[in-house]
Structure 1
Amino acid sequence: MGCALSSPDKGDGNGKKIRKPKSWKHPQQITKTQLMQMRDEFWDTAPHYGGRKEIWDALRAAAETDLTLAQAIVDSAGIIIQSADLTICYDERGAKYELPKYVLSEPTNLIQDG
């Protein structure tokens, strides 16, 4: 009994909902092409920072899609979210994954390619 007073189980700590990152500004103006190059370089080297490649792949997929699908990707991969904007996450084995804001959103000072 007592179902009406039951609360959701937060046992694994993975119940945090993803949110859009806060706006940020790059130290200098940056073009979309430069931003994409920075992102590609990060994702190409990310597995060398430690952790598992499949988790890095899931984080990349989550970073490059809308919030609803990103939440599904993170949940299905067993990723534990410390920061709701995905800047700090952990896998089920406790490995830490840090994502720079530039892979998650665009800066406020993004300029058109010239």
Structure 2
Amino acid sequence: MGCVGSTPKGAPAAGGGGGGKTAEATKKVRKPKPWKHPQPITTGQLRQMRDEFWDTAPHYGGQKEIWDALRVAAESEVALAQTIVESAGVIVSSADLTICYDERGAKYELPKYVLSEPTNLVQES
């Protein structure tokens, strides 16, 4: 038998009394860890990958308003990103914003390339 506010690992907290939801919703947002793309890419290629993701993201499910809030948060400084996700009611599962949920339990997965630049980013010539 679990605690009153317990939820399965990796699952969003259920509605109702707020159980674990408050702790999840107030998780501190942080910058993603450094990552490396399989091959060096230019800033233009990275921008194109990001644009393609954001253009198609609402088709993965969830609410367009949440996707829009996540995009603004991903393109903002950490302190502003924290404010954005809190005001949009986003439940942050991974502090780097790679996995989030909305208040209805819909999952939002963000690839690292929309959250930060790779270590092997090259300047365009």
Scaled by the length of structure 1, what TM-score is found?
Answer: 0.90
Q: Which residue of 2 aligns with 1:79?
A: 90
Give me the whole-angstrom Cα distance separating, in 2, the residues matched to 1:15 and 1:76.
11
| Counterpart among 30, 34, 59 of residue 19 in structure 1 | 30
Which deviates further from its counterpart, 11-20 or 32-41? 11-20
Unaligned stretches of 5+ residues in structure 1: 1-8
Deviation at 1:11, TM superposition (A): 4.9
Count, aligned residues: 106
Scaled by the length of structure 2, what TM-score is found?
Answer: 0.82
* Cα RMSD (Å): 1.2
> Does the 8 Å CA contact 2:32/2:96 hold for their aligned counterparts?
yes
| 1:58 and 2:59 aligned | no
Q: Secondary structure at the match of 1:89?
A: strand
Measured against aligned partners, the alpha-carbon deviations of 1:11-50 in whole angstroms (never above 9, x if no partner) come to 5231100000000000000000000000000000000000
1:11–1:89 CA distance, 2 compared to 1 (3 A): closer
| Counterpart among 40, 43, 60 of residue 54 in structure 2 | 43
Q: Secondary structure at the match of 1:25?
A: coil
Moved over 6 A (4+): none
Deviation at 1:93, TM superposition (A): 0.1
Unaligned stretches of 5+ residues in structure 2: 1-18
Identity among equivalent positions (%) equals: 75
Q: Which residue of 2 aligns with 1:29?
A: 40
Higher relative contact order (CA 8 A, sep 6+): 1
1:28–1:73 CA distance, 2 compared to 1 (3 A): same
Measured against aligned partners, the alpha-carbon deviations of 1:38-84 in whole angstroms (never above 9, x if no partner) come to 00000000000000000000000000010011000000000000000
| Counterpart among 97, 108, 113 of residue 108 in structure 2 | 97
1:46–1:11 CA distance, 2 compared to 1 (3 A): closer
Q: Which residue of 2 aligns with 1:5?
A: none
Give me the whole-angstrom Cα distance separating, in 1, the residues matched to 2:113 and 2:21.
32
